[in-house]
Amino acid sequence: TPVIEELEEQTETPIEENLMEPPEETLETETLPSELPVNQLIIENLGGLLVPSDTVRIDNEMLSQWKGISDSTKIDQVEVETFDGKTMQCKVKPIKDSKYEGKGIIRMPEKIQLNLEVKKGELVRVKPLVY
């Protein structure tokens, strides 16, 4: 019987070690969510003679929220990601047209839409780039 007791003691020790490992992993994942929020926006066309082809327009209220969260004085670039996984960094300015404000819309020039292979009415993920 002493041999059986020794075997039981040996099997108990690795189990205790395994139980101690997962809390360390969860601590690491808990510290990660300090990232800025990712918003889903609907694409609207942005056109005109003097429209820069590398700049998207987003609701000013959203830009203000991002500034508050990031403690940044100015957010002038965003990362736009499609649901296919394509990403692109763009300059950003607030929407000037009041009919688009507060509707979860990103106004995007045709050149950016072509690069991302998206079109008007589709959803994209947008997050601020803070340096």
Most confident region among 3-12, 38-47, 72-81 by mean pLDDT: 38-47
Domain count, the chain: 1
Within 8 A by CB and 6+ apart from 83, the residues are 123, 124, 125
Q: Per-residue pLDDT for 33 more than 90?
A: no
Is residue 4 a part of any domain in this protein? no
CB 109 within 8 A of CB 18: no
Domain presence at residue 28: no
pLDDT in tens, 76-112: 999 999 999 999 999 999 998 888 888 999 999 999 9
Model pTM score: 0.69
**pLDDT value at position 44?**
96
Give mean pLDDT, residues 6-10: 49
* Domain annotation covers residue 45: yes
The whole-number average pLDDT for the span 35-62 is: 90
Establish if 33 belongs to a structural domain.
no
Q: Which domain holds residue 111?
A: 39-128
- Does residue 25 belong to any structural domain of this protein? no
Which CATH number belongs to the domain containing residue 68 in this structure? 2.40.40.20
Residue 99 DSSP SS3? helix
Say if 26 falls within a structural domain.
no
Residue 50 placed within a domain: yes
Please check the confidence at residue 21 and state whether its pLDDT lies above 60: no
Nearest of 34, 95, 124 to residue 70 by alpha carbon: 34
Is 53 contained in some domain? yes
Please give the sequence-ordered ranges of beta strands (E in DSSP) within the chain, or none if there are none.
39-45, 55-58, 77-81, 87-94, 105-108, 123-128
The radius of gyration of the chain from alpha carbons, rounded to an integer in Å, stands at 24
